[in-house]
Structure 1
Amino acid sequence: MTRIRIREFHDDDLDGVVRLWWEVRSTVDQPVYSLAEVTASCREDHAVVAVRGDRIVAAAVGRAAHAQGWVVFFGISEDARSENVSGALLDALERKMAPLGLSTLSVLMPEGGRLGLLTSNGFQLRYGLRYLERQMPVQRRELDLLKDVGGRVLPRHLWENVAGMRHEKQLLEERLVAPLAEPDLADRYGVVPPHAVMLFGPPGTGKTTFAKAVASRLDWPFVEVFPSRLGDAGSGMAASLRNVFERIEQLEHAVVFIDEVEEIASQRRGDPPSPTQGVTNELLKIVADFRDREGQLLICATNFVRALDAAFLRHGRFDYVLPIGLPDAEAREAIWRRYVPGEISESIDFGVLVAESDGLTPADIEYAARRASQEALARVLRAEGAVLETDRTQLDTADYRAALEVTRATVSEEEQSAFSEDIETLARL
């Protein structure tokens, strides 16, 4: 079946939106706004559509009133409901309307309408009315500032998209997400919401993915600070770092992420001091300052936790030092299923692929899957008299196993052993 794609509304889409409006009108989700209002907003306000081939299968139309946005039409054809387009469609409309500086995005639904597609995408039901709204992650006054510091609002559902890794997700949910998302509940139990967290583990194990997932789960803007872009000289880096964090402090909420933090937090030693000692000292002060902030979380990640200056790992700096290891069996299967074409998935022995990819990072598995696909396509193209448009995809388990045989693991056994030792000696859960 042709893949669904989401794009902005074009004038020649109007007939398709009208057809969809009439289709939805006959269901319990019948539109609140008239067809005339919907078509007017398509032309004059904001609209996005989901398209399969040339056919519009879903649409979201919005209108702004002062600081509040209204969804005047949100319709999905019955044959597209099973393909989970609702979240991506609403996110696309939100991104299109975000420059208007809206504080909320609201929806009116008819009595008896199905609310699941909205409540599962961040809208909250206001009792007494069939009225739903979703808070905009960034307020108008913060738009330019967020852009200035290189921040962005990530798509929702990134948390749910991290398959497997149950232990790691549970740690992050209990230690980070819940206390920050439910501060009153945390206060009732005497739990202080975290301010700074260190993630460590071998390269390619998904530390950045987890940091983004936490931001998505909290629905906070994500701001990544790149050590390599802070400046050339040691003093220049320290001043740049301080300047970046002073601007970030003006945001109401933010997850601030520094990857490969060992570049600016390595052990201080030597006489004279190393060129980066000044920025290391500055980062220590910034981490301390973060402990006085509400509504912001600093996440640092490192592949070499042993290389960090000892001061970073003392109690009182980072609330938690959490290990992120190689994907477990459930996660590896989810990664394989992401890259194996859906039409052949039933014929693939995922159990074999999961077992034979033990010890590989997500990037390693992606490489093997893509290599298998490329080799299979090349084989078909080279075949004499090959027909490119065929009903059968010539790709099977053996192709993926062959790709695995030539895929080198990013993380060596020695690195895995060292990681296990670091968990015992340095992790703080």
Structure 2
Amino acid sequence: MTGWHIRDFHSADMDAILRLWEESRSAGAEPVYALAEVVASCQKDHAVVAVHGDLIVGAAVARAAHDQGWIVFFGIDNQWRKRGIGSALLAAVESRMTPHGLAKLSILMPDTEQRLDALLNAGFQDKKHLRYFEREIPVQGQEMGLLGELGGRLMPRNLWNGVGGMQREKELLERRLVLPLSNPDLAQQYGVVPPRAVMLFGPPGTGKTTFAKAIASRLEWPFVEVFPSRLAADSKGLAGALRETFLEIAGLEHAVVFIDEVEEIAAQRQGEPPSPLQGVTNELLKIIPAFRDQPGRLLVCATNFIRALDSAFLRHGRFDYVIPIGLPDEAARYAIWQRYTPEGVSADVDLDLLVAKTDGFSPADIEFAARKASQHALEKAVYGQQDGGSTANAAGPSNDDYLEAIAQTRTTVSAEVAQQFRDDIERIARL
């Protein structure tokens, strides 16, 4: 078999590129670059093929980045190896890239690839002691505009780890939500259907919104919060605006969609004549099944008053899990106090004592007490002498400042509300 030649890539050659790319996979050497990247470079950058008659027997595809050239695909039909085709392909793609003023041409190969003669013959050097790292960008360029229109954003990557304590809740969310959503192929292997919607419920100020954002951070999916109060001003009405918003969200490849205080638009339907919000509740009940048909999305709703929700809203088939988010445990309270204690006085503050004194406090309650103590200490430092006190060695709030602030803080969650929450866990939670 002789008579092959090298020419530029034509659009009609795409099927052959796909065939060669698949052959490289079946040979056990997974290509470094994804097929979509190879196809894009064929169309926009530099690609050459080796042809015998009408048959394409090899290809090299490359792109330039500043003064660095990268070969993103290099493949030869197994039956045409050892014929000099590889060296010719590499020389041809280099000649087409040279006018760009490149200083270097590089290629990344799978560590299982043993057939490197063409590279070595073409003058490429095998660089030892190098490792290749990559990460995928969660939101592609074409989605950024839509995400901005929706008011969505990407959460910081470390937000999940930043949720101190609450280990039981974090482990539950990790196992029920993050695991199947981030590993859909593994979930399918075990017959697990990734969740599409989850309800978080609990007393006010317990961190439900923080957990919703942390889930998005853990998945590295865009976070889109839907505000019914803002949609209500739309000329199409709240129900119409809600429907249109979810249609726009469908344009994102992945998304965590969050509705806080969902009881405002999904309360029990009752009364004659029907209230205006009943139409919104009906619309939301229609939206959720359609939303569930789309992979790569998770609806997270949160409520302080789960008993107020319409009974049809929580039934099986709409929400996969109904998860309680309660008051912070000791570890969580310790982490919150650490966050709000100035570094200059942290060694002198008895955090264990503050943790013990704030049993039954919500995260918002602790934040309020910490800020109140800091404000009081600042005022003493600045105005102490005027009030007959001393400002000597004032470095920040003290234990006494914190304890005084704790004593003056009215907790958000009363004993009655806490008991109702425990009852709701028994009656309504679905884990």
Give the TM-score of the pair, scaled to structure 1: 0.68
Return closer, same or farther for 1:129/1:186 CA change in 2, 3 Å cut-off.
farther
What secondary structure sits across from 1:300 in the alignment? strand
Q: In the alignment, is residue 279 of structure 1 matched against residue 280 of structure 2? A: yes
**CA RMSD across the alignment:** 2.6
Q: In the alignment, is residue 426 of structure 1 matched against residue 428 of structure 2? A: yes
Q: In the alignment, is residue 338 of structure 1 matched against residue 329 of structure 2? A: no
Q: In the alignment, is residue 173 of structure 1 matched against residue 177 of structure 2? A: no
- Hey, what does 1:260 align to over in structure 2? 261
What secondary structure sits across from 2:135 in the alignment? strand
Q: Is the 8 A contact 1:234 1:275 kept in 2?
A: no
Give the distance between the partners of 1:129 and 1:272, measured in 2 at CA: 72
Return closer, same or farther for 1:230/1:329 CA change in 2, 3 Å cut-off.
same
Return closer, same or farther for 1:128/1:192 CA change in 2, 3 Å cut-off.
farther
Shift of 1:232: 4.9
Structure 2: gaps (5+ residues): 1-63, 71-107, 109-127
Q: Is the 8 A contact 1:200 1:302 kept in 2?
A: yes
Give the distance between the partners of 1:407 and 1:376, measured in 2 at CA: 16
- Hey, what does 1:290 align to over in structure 2? 291
What secondary structure sits across from 1:257 in the alignment? strand
Once the two structures are superposed, residues 135-194 of structure 1 have per-residue CA deviations (whole angstroms, 9 ceiling, x without a partner) of 112111111111111111111110000010011001100000010011122122211100
Shift of 1:282: 0.8
Give the distance between the partners of 1:415 and 1:175, measured in 2 at CA: 27
- From 376, 380, 403, the equivalent of 1:401 is 403
- Hey, what does 1:31 align to over in structure 2? none
Once the two structures are superposed, residues 319-346 of structure 1 have per-residue CA deviations (whole angstroms, 9 ceiling, x without a partner) of 0000000100100010001011112212
Give the distance between the partners of 1:327 and 1:239, measured in 2 at CA: 38
Give the distance between the partners of 1:270 and 1:293, measured in 2 at CA: 34
Shift of 1:384: 2.6
Q: Is the 8 A contact 1:234 1:277 kept in 2?
A: no
Shift of 1:210: 0.1
User: Identity of aligned pairs, percent?
Assistant: 63
The AA in structure 2 aligned to 1:299 is V
Structure 1: gaps (5+ residues): 1-63, 71-107, 109-126
Give the distance between the partners of 1:309 and 1:156, measured in 2 at CA: 35
The AA in structure 2 aligned to 1:219 is E
Once the two structures are superposed, residues 104-135 of structure 1 have per-residue CA deviations (whole angstroms, 9 ceiling, x without a partner) of xxxx9xxxxxxxxxxxxxxxxxx995222221
Return closer, same or farther for 1:152/1:357 CA change in 2, 3 Å cut-off.
same
- Hey, what does 1:302 align to over in structure 2? 303
What secondary structure sits across from 2:270 in the alignment? coil
Moved segments of 4+, more than 4 Å: 232-235, 388-392
Shift of 1:382: 1.4
Q: Is the 8 A contact 2:201 2:208 kept in 1?
A: yes
Give the distance between the partners of 2:327 and 2:309, measured in 1 at CA: 21
- Hey, what does 2:113 align to over in structure 1? none
Shift of 1:368: 0.6
Q: Is the 8 A contact 2:374 2:396 kept in 1?
A: no
Any residues of structure 2 matched to 1:65-104 within 5 Å, and which?
65=65
Give the distance between the partners of 2:289 and 2:332, measured in 1 at CA: 35
Count of equivalent residues: 309
Give the distance between the partners of 1:249 and 1:128, measured in 2 at CA: 44
The AA in structure 1 aligned to 2:408 is V
Any residues of structure 2 matched to 1:138-149 within 5 Å, and which?
138-149=139-150
- Hey, what does 1:207 align to over in structure 2? 208
Any residues of structure 2 matched to 1:22-421 within 5 Å, and which?
65=65, 129-232=130-233, 236-384=237-385, 393-421=395-423
What secondary structure sits across from 2:312 in the alignment? helix
Give the distance between the partners of 2:423 and 2:374, measured in 1 at CA: 37
Give the TM-score of the pair, scaled to structure 2: 0.68
